[in-house]
């Protein structure tokens, strides 16, 4: 019972300190903990001084006053939420300044957020541009309902010539755009807009539900011993997509810190994960879905919990040596799916395990047949066998040559035609005993269906055999 | 020694330009069945007016002219079988088809005439190189046979052996 009480108390403090839901504070030196105005530019006639006289958190805050004065910082980001802490000097009874945040594009103000409270104590002032939620503010020209692009954030006193001032601390603007390791604390889509690297034990932490983390194919790089993305504390409906994870011990971690928690509807898709453990699950999880990823490293799923339901489908399983299952599996029909599914964990298989034809290189050809049998045939008739093929990949143009031996003296090989066809292409050649060029083909994946058509002359009953040689070679 | 070095370099160079290639050696097989195709170049044999009690009547035209022939296309040995219906005038008078004798050969010289029966019987064994058969017919007329026009239908069958 005592332990539970402590936990809840800590949780409340935790959430009160972080504006709920946004990925990243994009304001540098937001709390002036450098002890100076690094990253800020002072505009106006008054005074802006970093001081340790008061602070909401940390050691410093900013005092501004004496006259019209602002501080400014270029952020050039999409912003969803702004906040700052303000302390009105209690001794300044005549002070009528109005602390204001100006969100500006490159031509001027696009949104003005003004604090209209009067308390002489630290006051958190915030405005959620997506929902309109706020605390003690009035706004002017601020669009509500979506994030807005902000080139410059400016904060100060609006329009008054003063002799006194107030303290500012923790001036923050939050974006759903991610550029560094951070917590994702609100539902909705969060997008990487640059590569991210970090040595945090967890780089991107997702402890809440209904989140889409879109890495937009940017790369998140770790230090070799940390975790790239952690999904835990029982959220549901989480999607992680288009992420490139590098140099992590655990790429994506499904995590519960209490046994009663169950993750559900968690999807990892279209991502390229290189880690000791690409997917590491220690969680109770239902409806997990790992789809269409390249997984370069091991996979661990703890099957001890009652629920460990993770479906793996259409993933490429490899390792740093390039000798992983997908790299070496047999794909006899070149359809990019291994002939035999990869056994991921326990009895779970990836029934559409991607093969090396997903990332083909060089020149490789697979023939799916080595004999053609026309069966019983009658003289003066033609017979055909099709459905056999050669498939593969070439990184440059290649040629196909054919030749064959006679069935017998009376039944020569020129009674046999070979047709190659695939979408948009068909060509037929009569075989001969001399090696002749069938055709030249362009680079890329290919699948040539071969059809053999034979004419049977009047020959004695019996079984006849010819040998046809089909050569694929680079030009 | 100088020549040996040059040879070594040449071999090395040839090794470097080896072209990546994949080859499929395909065994193509078929089993040809026995086959025969024949074309009958006649469909009637007429003996004209014959005398009661006469034997070995020849048809008109005579079989020695080779007019009763069959073109053969075969890749195997074959057999010729024949059967027929008894002669009838359509008014109740008949006589046995056994009075008709037939012979087959690849030339117009005939031996071994066989009496035709109502059940199928082999009258000739051919070989795969045959390209033509000539047929010969002889008719005996039983004594006392009622005077009338008689006909019989023959079935001549060629089959692979």
**pLDDT in tens for each of the 475 residues of chain A?**
333 333 333 333 333 344 444 567 899 999 999 999 999 999 988 889 999 999 999 999 999 887 788 999 999 999 988 999 988 765 555 556 678 889 998 888 888 888 866 667 888 888 888 888 887 787 877 888 888 999 999 998 765 655 667 899 999 998 888 998 988 877 889 999 999 999 989 999 998 899 999 999 999 999 999 999 999 877 899 999 999 999 999 999 998 866 667 889 999 999 999 999 999 998 889 999 999 999 999 999 999 888 889 999 999 999 999 999 999 999 999 999 999 999 999 999 999 999 999 999 999 999 999 999 999 999 999 999 999 999 999 999 999 999 999 999 999 999 999 999 998 899 999 999 999 999 999 999 999 999 999 999 999 999 999 999 999 999 8
CATH of domain B37-160: 2.60.40
Distance from CA of A312 to the nearest CA of B (A): 34
- Collect all residues with Cβ–Cβ distance below 8 Å to A242 and sequence separation of at least 6: A214, A215, A216, A217, A270, A271
Distance from CA of A342 to the nearest CA of B (A): 28
The number of angstroms, rounded, from the C-alpha of B99 to the middle of its chain's C-alpha atoms is: 24
Distance from CA of B31 to the nearest CA of A (A): 4
pLDDT score for A7: 35
Q: Are A252 and A269 in contact (CB under 8 A)?
A: no
pLDDT tens-place string over residues B26-39: 999 999 999 999 99
Q: Which residue of A has its CA nearest to B77?
A: A460
pLDDT over 50 at B71, yes or no: yes
pLDDT tens-place string over residues B114-127: 999 999 999 999 99
pLDDT score for A3: 34
Question: Does pTM top 0.80 for this prediction?
Answer: no
Q: Which residue of B has its CA nearest to A365?
A: B22
The interface residues of chain B toward chain A in range 9-38, judged by CB-CB distance below 8 A, are 19-35
Q: Are A230 and A220 in contact (CB under 8 A)?
A: no
CATH of domain A364-474: 2.60.40
Q: Which residue of A has its CA nearest to B29?
A: A465
pLDDT score for A219: 98
Contacts 24+ apart (CB under 8 A), A88-93: A88/A118, A88/A119, A88/A120, A88/A121, A88/A123, A88/A166, A89/A65, A89/A120, A89/A164, A89/A165, A89/A166, A89/A167, A90/A120, A91/A164, A92/A164, A92/A165, A92/A166
pLDDT score for A233: 79
Strands (E), A292-423: 294-301, 308-313, 316-318, 342-345, 348-350, 363-367, 371-377, 382-394, 398-404, 416-422
Question: Looking at beta carbons, which residues of chain A come within 8 Å of B32?
Answer: 376-379, 456, 459-464
The sign one gets for the Cα dihedral A55, A56, A59, A64 is negative
Q: Which two tokens stand for residue B128?
A: 């795969």
Q: Which of A249, A207, A252, A205 is nearest to A226 (CA)?
A: A249
Domains of chain A: which residue ranges? 15-175, 180-358, 364-474
Domains of chain B: which residue ranges? 37-160
Q: Which two tokens stand for residue A420?
A: 């190659």
pLDDT score for A93: 54
Q: Which of A55, A26, A56 is nearest to A39 (CA)?
A: A26
Interface test with A, best of B20, B23, B32, B127 (most A CBs within 10 A): B32
Rounded CA-CA distance A126/B126 in Å is: 110
pLDDT score for B15: 41
pLDDT score for A259: 65
CATH of domain A15-175: 2.60.120.430
């Amino acid at each position: 019972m005592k332990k539970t009480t402590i936990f809840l108390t800590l949780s409340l403090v935790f959430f009160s300190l972080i504006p709920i839901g946004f990925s990243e504070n994009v304001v540098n030196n937001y709390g002036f903990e450098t002890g100076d105005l690094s990253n800020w530019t002072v505009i106006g006639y008054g005074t802006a001084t970093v001081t340790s006289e008061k602070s909401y958190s940390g050691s410093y805050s900013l005092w501004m006053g004496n006259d019209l004065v602002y501080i400014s910082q270029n952020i050039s980001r999409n912003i969803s939420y702004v906040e700052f802490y303000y302390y009105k000097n209690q001794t300044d009874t005549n002070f009528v300044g109005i602390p204001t945040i100006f969100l500006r594009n490159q031509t001027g103000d696009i949104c003005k957020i003004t604090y209209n409270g009067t308390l002489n104590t630290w006051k958190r002032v915030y405005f959620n541009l997506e929902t309109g939620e706020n605390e003690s503010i009035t706004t002017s020209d601020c669009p509500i309902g979506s994030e807005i692009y902000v080139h410059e954030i400016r904060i100060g006193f609006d329009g008054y010539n003063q002799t006194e001032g107030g303290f500012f601390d923790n001036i923050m603007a939050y974006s759903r755009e991610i550029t560094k390791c951070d917590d994702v604390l609100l539902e909705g889509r969060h997008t990487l807009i640059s590569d991210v690297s970090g040595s945090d034990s967890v780089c991107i932490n997702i402890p809440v539900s209904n989140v889409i983390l879109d890495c937009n194919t940017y790369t998140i790089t770790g230090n070799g011993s940390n975790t790239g993305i952690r999904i835990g504390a029982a959220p549901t409906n989480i999607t992680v997509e288009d992420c490139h994870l590098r140099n992590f011990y655990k790429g994506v971690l499904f995590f519960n810190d209490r046994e009663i928690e169950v993750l559900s509807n968690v999807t990892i898709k279209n991502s390229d994960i290189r880690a000791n453990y690409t997917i590491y699950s220690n969680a109770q999880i239902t409806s997990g879905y790992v789809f269409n990823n390249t997984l370069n490293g091991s996979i661990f799923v703890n099957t001890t919990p009652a629920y460990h339901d993770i479906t793996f489908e259409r993933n490429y399983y490899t390792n740093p040596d390039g000798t992983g299952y997908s790299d070496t599996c047999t794909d006899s029909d070149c359809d990019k799916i291994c002939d035999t599914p990869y056994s991921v964990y326990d009895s779970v298989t990836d029934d559409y395990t991607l093969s090396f034809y997903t990332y083909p290189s060089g020149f490789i050809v697979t023939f799916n047949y080595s004999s053609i049998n026309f069966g019983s045939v009658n003289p003066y008739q033609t017979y055909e066998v099709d459905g056999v093929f050669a498939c593969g990949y070439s990184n440059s143009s290649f040629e196909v040559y054919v030749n064959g031996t006679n069935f017998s003296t009376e039944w020569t090989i020129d009674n046999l035609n070979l047709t190659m066809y695939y979408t948009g292409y068909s060509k037929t050649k009569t075989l001969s005993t001399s090696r002749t060029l069938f055709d030249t083909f362009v680079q890329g994946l290919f699948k040539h269906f071969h059809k053999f058509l034979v004419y049977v002359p009047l020959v004695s009953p019996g079984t006849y055999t010819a040998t046809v040689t089909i050569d694929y070679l680079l030009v | 020694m100088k020549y040996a070095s040059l040879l070594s370099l040449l071999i090395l160079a040839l090794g470097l330009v080896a072209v990546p290639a994949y080859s499929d050696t395909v065994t193509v097989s078929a089993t040809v069945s026995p086959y025969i195709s024949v074309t009958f170049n006649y469909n009637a044999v007429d003996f004209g007016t014959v005398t009661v009690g006469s034997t070995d009547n020849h048809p008109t035209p005579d079989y020695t002219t080779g007019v009763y022939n069959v073109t053969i296309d075969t890749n195997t040995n074959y057999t010729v079988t024949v059967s027929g219906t008894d002669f009838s005038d359509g008014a109740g008078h008949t006589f046995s088809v056994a009075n008709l004798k037939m012979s087959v050969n690849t030339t117009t010289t005939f031996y071994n005439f066989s009496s035709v029966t109502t059940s199928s019987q082999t009258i000739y064994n051919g070989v795969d190189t045959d390209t033509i058969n000539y047929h010969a017919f002889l008719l005996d007329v039983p004594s006392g046979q009622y005077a009338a026009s008689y006909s019989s239908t023959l079935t001549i069958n060629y089959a692979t052996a």
